Copies of this chain bind each other. A is one copy, B any other.
Amino acid sequence: MSFAAGQTAAQTFEALQAYVKKMLHYQEALELIYWDLRTGAPKKSVELRSETIGTLSDELFRMSTSDQLAEYLEILSDPGVFSTLERKWQRTIEELQRELDRSRKIPPERNKAYVMLTSQAESVWEEARAQSNFEMFRPYLEQIVAMNIEFVEYWGYDENKYDTLLDLYEPGMTVAQVDKIFGGLREETVKLVQAIAHSGRRIDETPFVRRYDVAKQRELGIMLLEAMGYDFNAGRLDETVHPFETAINRFDVRVTTKYLPDDVRSNIFSVIHEGGHALYEQGVSTDLIGTPLCGGASMGIHESQSRFWENMIGRTREFWEFNYGKLLKLFPSQLADVSLEDFYRGVNVVQPSLIRIEADEVTYNLHIMIRYEIEKGLINGQLRVADLPGIWRDKMKEYLGVVPGNDAEGVLQDVHWSGGSFGYFPTYALGNIYAAQFRNALQKAIPDYLEHVRRGNLGVIKQWLNDNIHRHGKMLKPAQIVEQVTGEAIDSKYLVAYLKEKFGQLYGV
A25 to B56, CA, bound (A): 8
Minimum CB–CB distance for A37 against chain B, Å = 10
Q: Does A157 contact B (CB under 8 A)?
A: no
List B contacts of A52 (CB < 8 A).
Answer: 25, 28-29, 249
Cβ < 8 Å to B, chain A residues 204-244: 215, 231-236
A51 to B23, CA, bound (A): 12
List B contacts of A48 (CB < 8 A).
Answer: 28, 249-252, 289
List B contacts of A55 (CB < 8 A).
Answer: 21-22, 25-26
Minimum CB–CB distance for A163 against chain B, Å = 36
A280 to B387, CA, bound (A): 56
List B contacts of A249 (CB < 8 A).
Answer: 45, 48-49, 52
When the two chains form their complex, are residues A234 and B42 in contact, meaning their CB atoms are under 8 A apart? yes
Q: Does A40 contact B (CB under 8 A)?
A: yes
List B contacts of A51 (CB < 8 A).
Answer: 21, 25
Known: A22-B55, A252-B48, A252-B49. Is A36-B32 also a contact (CB below 8 A)? yes
A22 to B28, CA, bound (A): 18
Cβ < 8 Å to B, chain A residues 45-79: 45, 47-49, 51-52, 54-56
A249 to B46, CA, bound (A): 10
When the two chains form their complex, are residues A44 and B236 in contact, meaning their CB atoms are under 8 A apart? no
When the two chains form their complex, are residues A42 and B236 in contact, meaning their CB atoms are under 8 A apart? yes
List B contacts of A47 (CB < 8 A).
Answer: 251
A36 to B56, CA, bound (A): 18
List B contacts of A234 (CB < 8 A).
Answer: 42-45
Q: Does A248 contact B (CB under 8 A)?
A: yes
Name 16 extra pairs, CB < 8 A, besides A25-B51, A29-B56: A21-B55, A25-B55, A28-B52, A29-B29, A29-B52, A40-B236, A41-B236, A42-B251, A42-B254, A43-B233, A44-B233, A44-B234, A45-B249, A48-B250, A48-B251, A49-B252
CB-based closest 6 A-B pairs: A45-B252, A44-B251, A25-B55, A25-B52, A48-B249, A44-B234
Contacts A/B (CB < 8 Å), 27 sampled: A25-B52, A25-B54, A25-B56, A26-B55, A28-B49, A28-B52, A29-B33, A29-B56, A32-B32, A32-B33, A32-B36, A36-B36, A40-B236, A42-B232, A42-B236, A43-B233, A43-B234, A44-B234, A44-B252, A45-B234, A45-B248, A45-B249, A45-B251, A48-B249, A48-B250, A48-B251, A52-B249
